[in-house]
Structure 1
Amino acid sequence: MSSAVPTVRGQELSGHNRISTQALTSLAKAAAAQFLGVDAEDVRADWTDDDGMLALSLVTPISIPPLIAVVLDPSRLEGIGGSIWDRTVKAKARILATVTELSGARLSRVDIRISGAKISEGGRVR
């Protein structure tokens, strides 16, 4: 199997591409914010080396509906994706897939620590 060398107008292109840690961090924070229903600036992301792959560690709040709304209508939890635990487990996989797909970086895992809850007043939590 041969690997294709990028070309422009018949000329081979040499060099390399790198994605900065800052760009990867911004991407990870945006993905976490999207899947957990919070603002990206509320998410903290740190990277470590995991045997040549990247391990992502996130500390973030999670959005929840007002507790009285859940008491009055317990099915509302199903509408937002389940319990905080269930949503966090799902978010891990989605964040890993999104960051990998958009950046090309090889992530070994995503660890999430929920630091608090943000009450979502209107509409459904993402």
Structure 2
Amino acid sequence: MSLPAVRPLAGHNRISTQALTSVARAAAAEALGVAAQDVRADWNDDGGLLALSLVTPIAVPSLTSVLRDPHRVAALGGPIWDRAVAAKAQILRRVTELSGAQLSRVDIRISGASVTDGGRVR
């Protein structure tokens, strides 16, 4: 038994800038280990495609935990630079997957560090 063909309906589907921004903030938060509310996202036209600019902190282990276990940096994905570069592709892929929007690029500016595990040095 075959399913009947679905005929597209006339009309328009649009995703608001606010919805795209929410998706981008969530994708960046997921990729960089921070809260979505701490991520700022802006959009620009890039030759008909969307260019995403992000300003965000990035999760880092406490210095105490790195002294105890130097592999903590590698466990988070390596140095901040490497993680930001890898996050660009991940964010682009995730935003496209969730929204269907065509992005030309993702630019990330790291605005700070969010320490992921606390504890004071004594």
TM-score by length of 1: 0.86
Deviations 1:27-55 (A, max 9, x none): 00000001101000000000000000000
Matched with 1:20 is 16
- Relative distance call for 1:49 and 1:6 in structure 2 (3 A) is farther
Q: Would the aligned equivalents of 1:92 and 1:110 in 2 still touch at CA under 8 Å?
A: yes
Matched with 2:104 is 108
Provide the alpha-carbon RMSD of the alignment: 1.4
Find the aligned partners of 2:27 and 2:97 in 1 and give their Cα distance.
12
2:67 is matched with which residue: 67, 71, 84? Answer: 71
2:42 matches 1:30: no
Q: Which runs of 4+ in 1 moved over 2 A?
A: none
2:117 is matched with which residue: 88, 111, 121? Answer: 121
Give the share of equivalent positions with the same residue, in percent.
Answer: 68
What code does the residue aligned with 2:31 have? F
2:40 is matched with which residue: 34, 44, 48? Answer: 44
What code does the residue aligned with 2:90 have? R
TM-score by length of 2: 0.89
2:82 matches 1:82: no
Matched with 1:57 is 53
What's the secondary structure of 2:53's corresponding residue? strand
Size of the alignment, in residue pairs? Answer: 114
The runs of 5 or more residues in structure 2 that have no matched partner are none
What code does the residue aligned with 2:21 have? T
2:91 matches 1:95: yes
